[in-house]
Amino acid sequence: MLLRGGALACGLWAATVEAQTVQPAEIPAKRLRAAPVIDGQVSSSEWADALKVEEFWFPVRQQRGSFPTTAYLGFDEQYLYIAFVCEDPEPEKIIANETKRGGSVDKDDFVALLVDPQNRRLEPYWFQVNPNGAQAESIPGGSTENIQWRGDWEAKAQRSPQGWSAEMRIPVKTLRYPNGQTRFGIALLRFIPRTYELYTFPNMGAFFEERRQTEWAGLELPPTRRPLIFLPYALYDTDDDLQNHLRAGLDVKYVSDGGITGLFTHKPDFRNIAADIARVDFSYTERVLSDTRPFFQEGAGFFPTRTVFYSVRVPDLNTGLKSFGTLDRWQYGILGLDYLDNTPNGAFARQYLLSQTQYQLDKRSYARFIGSALRGGGFQDDFWGAEANFLRELPDGEFSLRGNFYQSLGNPNSGSFMRLTIDRDAAERKLDWRIDYEEVTPNYRPRLGFAPERGYRAWIGIANLFDRPEKGPLLDWFLSVDGRARKRYGGRTLDEGINVSFQVRTKSGYGGGVLLSHLRRPPNTDRLVGLMAGWSVLDVFRQGNFFLETGRQNGGDSLYMLLEQTLTPANRFRLKLAADRQEIRYPAPTPLDREEQFIATLNYELSPERSVGGQYVYRKSLSGGASETVNNLYFTFYQRVRKGMDLFVIYGLPNADKTQNRLAVKLLMPLEL
């Protein structure tokens, strides 16, 4: 069957055709003789030397955007300059909720510049601004939250009776590119959430993909001096016994003239400050958490996925070194760690080395090689892997064929992981589907990898369909069907099942949906029905949702409920309330399982750079007749500034079982040399 699947993939691959070309394929770079004032007020005289762009397209309909949009684009020796004028026939309906730097503007009206300074059509920088002037950016490979560390840029916005406008100034030294680069890949975007329309320049074809950019040709940028950035920190805290503790650490970052990034860290901290609080829900396997430590955030995209390296498994990091970057067709990431591993047999010092090297076969296809070694405390765990992705564009989407193979060589943890994927990404109103074949041997257990279940072979299929009707009350609807069949080595069923979900959103701000799930996992057969409802779905600070799921699960009668509501009681004051509860009643005499949780999160924005907040968590669990209670409250003060000292103050301890009499103060002072 696997060979037949491979033959099918080859046939589909041979049948693909190149997508519609981006129009225009190239635009000229215009040097500005005088720098415009970045105040959000777009003056034609200030932008007279810039390239004027008026042909914004609504890609999925292949027609011009119905709301007139004009952009101006220019550069000088130090900056890129971008301005937008966004006309709106109903300016009172413009949505702009976010006000702080680095927040989420994705549900607001926004404009954006996408720029690939290496012009490789891989992963661009995103720079977004909403009508409040709130800025958000996405750095290729990932980065931490410190503004000076990420690279600062400036933006302002203003409203008018005709709509709104925005201006941006982006220092070229914040972009990774080789000296002498004269062509950047760029795209300009405007998003209108109330109609769910995304306008683009250039015309990217019916299928929007961020890598489809025009070439901005003729740039004349002098060699850029990129500073060495030091991020020292000092942390003072007390414990419940009022004992004082003082710790210090250091992060160092350097970006070379060729765009290669190097990082060093010693004694990083704050791993528990923004850690996830998982929802109450039943799971047969371990839940995945995100890592909030800056050293692991920076350049994470240049390193393997959590199947190979799950950084949350590195608890007490002492020292780390990291380097990543792109050299022509080659891309690499290398990481070295010295950390303390606390095991049931004691604490052991471990040393870990990880590398990933990628070769770009063409603009859409690559081959990747991975290797790692772990030593320390009489322990040895080696690993190697290979990945390949072959992608072709279609007029209405993309078709890809991917393969992953990993081999762990630890003793007795010697095993392999393999996945083959056929993927069809499609435009709206077209079927979007994926087929996976996966095989994990019983002994695949990389020490720092995430493999919650092993010893199975699986087929997995997913199909999606999405549309946003041009007329009527619906804003959009989404249908998803996924199924899987996993067999253990020896032929026994691990699990098999199917999920069907259908969701809709209306232009008036309401949402709803239904979820049907059937999963057979011997000796249990789970059959669940879920209903969901949402309100104010386009307002991130006032939205709410309710979810109810009932049926058979884990051999008992299950009932799960979730209620979430975000409130804005006063200007710049945000409050989010979330309550969820699950109960599974088993046939006698097995005790029932019950878990309930309430979370209240508050934040008051003193300014775009400073805020106070807090969180209260109550959770009570009853499992197998044993109960556990969490009753925890903590408060925070955050200061993230463009220049100067970042300050974090916390009273209490996140993720503790009860409120702690603990004060922690952390200072970060970026220094540039």
Tell me the pLDDT tens digit for each residue of 203-217.
Answer: 988 888 888 899 999
- Position 281 confidence tier, pLDDT thresholds 50, 70, 90: low
Contact 423, 399 (CB under 8 A): yes
Contact 673, 178 (CB under 8 A): no
Q: What angle do CA 6, 11, 17 make, to 5 degrees?
A: 130
DSSP-assigned beta bridge partners for residue 630: 619
Extract the runs of DSSP E, i.e. beta strands, from 161-227. Answer: 163-171, 183-192, 197-201, 214-217
Across the range 80-91, mean pLDDT stands at 97
* pLDDT at position 15: 40
3-state secondary structure at position 7? helix
Which of 6-20, 78-92, 210-224, 403-417 comes out lowest in average pLDDT? 6-20
- Nearest CA among 283, 280, 225 for reference residue 255: 225
Sheet holding 154-160, edge to edge: 51-53, 69-75, 79-87, 163-171, 154-160
pLDDT at 10 over 70: no
Provide, rounded to the nearest whole percent, the portion of the chain with pLDDT above 90: 57
Residues 505, 509, 510, 515, CA torsion sign? positive
| 432 phi, psi to nearest 5 deg | -110, 125
Across the range 82-92, mean pLDDT stands at 97
- Nearest CA among 152, 159, 156 for reference residue 137: 152
2-217 belongs to CATH 3.40.50.300:
no
What is the token pair recorded at 483?
A: 């199924």
How many residues make up the chain in this entry? 673
For the beta carbon of residue 93, count every other beta carbon within 10 angstroms.
12
- Position 239 confidence tier, pLDDT thresholds 50, 70, 90: low
CA distances for 603 relative to 117, 146, 262, 337, 566, angstroms: 36, 19, 35, 35, 11
Mean pLDDT of the chain: 87
Selected residue with higher pLDDT from 134 and 247: 134
* pLDDT at position 279: 52
CA distances for 110 relative to 104, 407, 443, 525, 639, angstroms: 11, 45, 49, 46, 25
Contact 49, 33 (CB under 8 A): yes
What's the count of helices (H) and strands (E) in the chain, helices before strands? 3, 39
- Position 341 confidence tier, pLDDT thresholds 50, 70, 90: confident
Across the range 570-584, mean pLDDT stands at 93
DSSP string covering 393-442: EETTEEEEEEEEEEEEE-SS-EEEEEEEEEEEEE-TTS-EEEEEEEEE-T
Report the run of H or E that residue 4 belongs to, with start and end: helix 2-15
* pLDDT at position 7: 38
| 301 phi, psi to nearest 5 deg | -70, -10
**For the segment 459-477, what is each residue's pLDDT rounded down to a tens digit?**
999 999 999 898 899 999 9
- Position 240 confidence tier, pLDDT thresholds 50, 70, 90: low
Per-residue three-class SS string for 319-357: EEEEEEEEECCEEEEEEEEEEEEEECCEEEEEEEEEEEE
Across the range 496-522, mean pLDDT stands at 96
What is the spatial distance between Cα 50 and Cα 68, in angstroms, rounded to a whole number?
Answer: 19
What is the spatial distance between Cα 648 and Cα 200, in angstroms, rounded to a whole number?
Answer: 39
What is the spatial distance between Cα 634 and Cα 659, in angstroms, rounded to a whole number?
Answer: 7
Q: Is 460 exposed, middle or buried (0-12, 13-18, 19+ CB in 10 A)?
A: middle
**Which residues are CB-neighbours of 92 under 8 A, at least 6 positions away?**
none
**Which residues are CB-neighbours of 95 under 8 A, at least 6 positions away?**
107, 108, 109, 193, 194, 538, 539
CA distances for 412 relative to 345, 415, 443, 445, 447, angstroms: 17, 9, 7, 9, 11
- Position 50 confidence tier, pLDDT thresholds 50, 70, 90: very high
What is the spatial distance between Cα 203 and Cα 123, in angstroms, rounded to a whole number?
Answer: 18
* pLDDT at position 248: 84
- The b/e string for 587-599 (b: 16+ C-beta within 10 A; e otherwise) is eeeeeebbbbbbb
* pLDDT at position 554: 92
3-state secondary structure at position 206? coil
- Position 282 confidence tier, pLDDT thresholds 50, 70, 90: low
* pLDDT at position 86: 98
Which amino acid is present at 615?
Q
- Position 142 confidence tier, pLDDT thresholds 50, 70, 90: confident
* pLDDT at position 269: 59
Residue indicated by tokens 């720092």: 448
pLDDT at 501 over 60: yes
Q: Is 299 exposed, middle or buried (0-12, 13-18, 19+ CB in 10 A)?
A: buried
Across the range 197-226, mean pLDDT stands at 87
pLDDT at 411 over 80: no
pLDDT at 660 over 90: no
Q: What angle do CA 158, 163, 165 make, to 5 degrees?
A: 40
pLDDT at 11 over 60: no
Contact 57, 68 (CB under 8 A): no
What is the spatial distance between Cα 372 and Cα 413, in angstroms, rounded to a whole number?
Answer: 14
Task: Say what the pTM is.
Answer: 0.83
* pLDDT at position 374: 92
* pLDDT at position 58: 92
* pLDDT at position 47: 96
* pLDDT at position 462: 98
Contact 201, 187 (CB under 8 A): yes
* pLDDT at position 284: 55
Give the strand pairing for 26-28 and 214-217.
parallel
**Which residues are CB-neighbours of 609 under 8 A, at least 6 positions away?**
100, 101, 639, 640, 641, 642
Contact 391, 419 (CB under 8 A): no
What is the token pair recorded at 52?
A: 């004027």
Query: What are the structural domain ranges in the chain?
Result: 2-217, 226-259+554-673
**Which residues are CB-neighbours of 36 under 8 A, at least 6 positions away?**
43, 46, 47, 81, 83, 167
pLDDT at 30 over 50: yes
pLDDT at 357 over 90: yes
Selected residue with higher pLDDT from 574 and 280: 574
